[in-house]
Amino acid sequence: MSNIFRVIGITGMPGSGKSELAKIGKDFGYTIVIMGDVIRQKVREEGKEPTPENCNLMMQELRKRHGPNAVALATVDEIEKISKEGKSKFIIDGIRSQAEVVTFRQKFENLFSVLAVHADSKLRLNRLQKRKRSDAPSTIEEFNRRDQIELSVGLGEAIAYANYMIENNSNFDDFKKKVYDFFNHFEQV
């Protein structure tokens, strides 16, 4: 494995498989930094439960107060902190806008790549409900509302500007093989 400093930003709609992809990246020596954790932590700091509504409101409020790249800037700070511990390979889980992509590209230049994960909406809803996280949608209406909010902050643009794409419309073993193939190739570049 390479000891080069590199950062892979993962993007995709909620439930597409970003977190599973990131976990596999750990097998290749990558440290995971989850952008959604920044939002959930901010919600908790305000004494609120990290429900889908509270997380969406916090995401919008952070971007309103500090600009569209507010979460990205906090993520850069986290990566810089961790890199002082000798870590050199990172996966950013949860890029949601082109402004975030631009921030990471400005900071990490050609050491940064974007990997998008695509999955059909019915599969995504099912996956979100099965994982039973506090911000998982409980109804199709809530799921659609969440998708619209994600798209309104620029998630579609972030996906469109990805350097790489992996489709996740099959079973986990097929997805895992695609992810391993990606990392085996990416590590050689």
Determine the average pLDDT of the residues in 16-44: 92
Residue 152 — very low, low, confident or very high, per pLDDT cuts 50/70/90? confident
Task: Look at residue 166 and tell me if it is in a domain.
Answer: yes
Does the pLDDT of residue 60 top 90, yes or no? no
Please tell me the predicted confidence (pLDDT) of residue 3: 60
- Mean per-residue pLDDT for 48-61? 88
User: Is pLDDT above 50 for 113?
Assistant: yes
Length of the chain: 189
Residue 188 lies in a domain: no
Look at residue 12 and tell me if it is in a domain. Answer: yes
Residues 42 and 36: their CA atoms lie apart, in Å, by 10
More confident residue, 25 or 4: 25
How remote is the C-alpha of 128 from its chain's centroid?
15
Quick one: pLDDT at residue 2? 44
* Average model confidence (pLDDT) across the chain: 91
Confidence at residue 40, expressed as pLDDT on a 0 to 100 scale: 87
Percent of the chain with pLDDT over 70: 98
> In the structure, what pLDDT confidence band is assigned to residue 172 with cuts at 50, 70 and 90?
very high
**Residue 29, token pair as written in the block:** 């020596």
Q: What is the CATH number of the domain that holds 99?
A: 3.40.50.300
Query: Comparing 189 with 121, which gets the higher pLDDT?
Result: 121
Angle between helices 70-83 and 98-108 (to 10 degrees): 30
**Which neighbouring-strand residues pair with 116?**
11, 165
- pLDDT of 1 strictly over 80: no
The answer to whether position 189 is within a domain reads no
Quick: pLDDT tens for 65-110.
989 899 999 899 889 999 999 999 999 998 989 999 999 999 999 9
Domain membership of residue 1 (yes or no) is no
pTM reported for the whole predicted model: 0.84
Instruction: Give residue 160's domain range.
Output: 6-183
Structural domain count of the chain: 1
